[in-house]
Structure 1
Amino acid sequence: MELRFVAMSEDQAKWLAYQWEYEGAYAFYHTDVEKLGLHAFIDVGKSSARQYAVYKDEDMVGFLGIKPKKDVAEIGLGMKPDYIGKGFGRSFLQNCLSFIKHNFEEIMAAKLFVAADNKRAIHVSEECGFEKRSPHKREIKGNFYDFIEMEYRFNRE
């Protein structure tokens, strides 16, 4: 799957925040826009935008957030609910890693946090080269959830 990454606009952030609804076990991923605000998704007017809308052709299929700290970037990503569980995860994550590698040369590693019970995401992350690091608890909408920190090391040789 060939994907295109563009700095996220306010309209794209609104569409993602208000239109994407995850169901079942993934419902807690649904964004609480009133609590977070759209600034969680966009860096309006900044050329150094770190929030990206991800497109396949003309369809916005996901998002990628990159928070660099020295040579490690914490990343947050998500796929459009219509794509969940349909075999796109590995390709989506590989494309995100390739984008980071080629556009953020100072980044030597990427880390992400996956819900501990999201076995599919953990499996896909491991298939793409991530390794489990440490467990964490995170509060989402007043509830605490178990997450696993995972890390990917870029080959910069």
Structure 2
Amino acid sequence: MEFKFRPIKLEDVKQIDSWNYENFVEKVEMKPYFESFQHTGQLKGPGGCEGYAAFVDEEVVGLFEFNINRNLMEIGLALRPDWIGKGLGATYVKQGIAFGIHHYDEDMNEVRLEVDEQNKAAIRVYEKIGFKKIEQKQCDIEMGMVL
């Protein structure tokens, strides 16, 4: 499976905002994109991150967000609800990180993310590809991976 990434567009933001997850997973936080677009005409995500829609066969199936701070890449990500649980998580995360490293052309040495402590499946995926727990932050776990 190969995911393609492109800068997020307003129609992608609207589509991702409509995704509904069951159980503990909260909605993907898309409000910052709408607010930044309204104020500046640009689409910026939480914390000013840059968002990219992930596609398979011209269909939006994911979101990947990047904040670059020198050698550190902070990521946020989501996979469309009907794509979860199909064994694609590790491939998706690896391809998104590879895209970010290539796109930003920086000498990255670490990737970090935060995940809800109840999202055991996502934590297993992150650990499987090399992430380690760094710190517990209320209900979230900060994880990092040395590149």
Instruction: Please classify the TM superposition score into its range, dividing by the shorter chain length.
Output: 0.7 to 0.9
Task: Report what 1:117 is aligned to.
Answer: 118
Instruction: Summarize the Cα distance change of 1:32–1:93 in structure 2 as closer, same or farther, 3 Å threshold.
Output: closer
Residues 91-130 of structure 1: pairs in structure 2 closer than 5 A: 91-106=91-106, 107-130=108-131
- Give 5+ residue unaligned stretches, structure 2: 44-48
Task: Report what 1:153 is aligned to.
Answer: 146
**Residue 54 of structure 2 contacts residue 61 of structure 2 at CA under 8 Å; is this kept in 1?**
yes
Instruction: Summarize the Cα distance change of 1:98–1:153 in structure 2 as closer, same or farther, 3 Å threshold.
Output: same
How far 1:104 sits from its partner (Å)? 2.3
Distance 1:37 1:2 in 2: 26
For residue 27 of structure 2, the aligned residue among 26, 29, 33 is 29
Task: Report what 1:84 is aligned to.
Answer: 84
Identity %: 30
Task: Report what 1:13 is aligned to.
Answer: 13
Distance 2:124 2:84 in 1: 14
CA RMSD of the aligned region, Å? 2.3
**Residue 8 of structure 1 contacts residue 43 of structure 1 at CA under 8 Å; is this kept in 2?**
no
Instruction: Summarize the Cα distance change of 1:38–1:135 in structure 2 as closer, same or farther, 3 Å threshold.
Output: same
Q: AA paired with 2:109?
A: M
How far 1:105 sits from its partner (Å)? 2.9
SS in 2 for 1:25: coil
**Residue 43 of structure 1 contacts residue 51 of structure 1 at CA under 8 Å; is this kept in 2?**
no
**Residue 108 of structure 1 contacts residue 153 of structure 1 at CA under 8 Å; is this kept in 2?**
yes
Tell me whether 1:38 sits opposite 2:39 in the alignment.
no
Residues 66-85 of structure 1: pairs in structure 2 closer than 5 A: 66-85=66-85
**Residue 65 of structure 1 contacts residue 75 of structure 1 at CA under 8 Å; is this kept in 2?**
yes
Deviations 1:37-80 (A, max 9, x none): 52479944xxxx82100001111110101011121121100000
Count of paired positions: 139
**Residue 71 of structure 1 contacts residue 109 of structure 1 at CA under 8 Å; is this kept in 2?**
yes
Distance 2:71 2:36 in 1: 22
Deviations 1:5-57 (A, max 9, x none): 0000111111111x21111122x234474xx452479944xxxx821000011
Distance 1:149 1:73 in 2: 13
Distance 1:37 1:5 in 2: 17
Q: Could you state the TM-score of these two structures normalised by the residue count of structure 2?
A: 0.84
Q: Could you state the TM-score of these two structures normalised by the residue count of structure 1?
A: 0.79
**Residue 61 of structure 2 contacts residue 80 of structure 2 at CA under 8 Å; is this kept in 1?**
yes
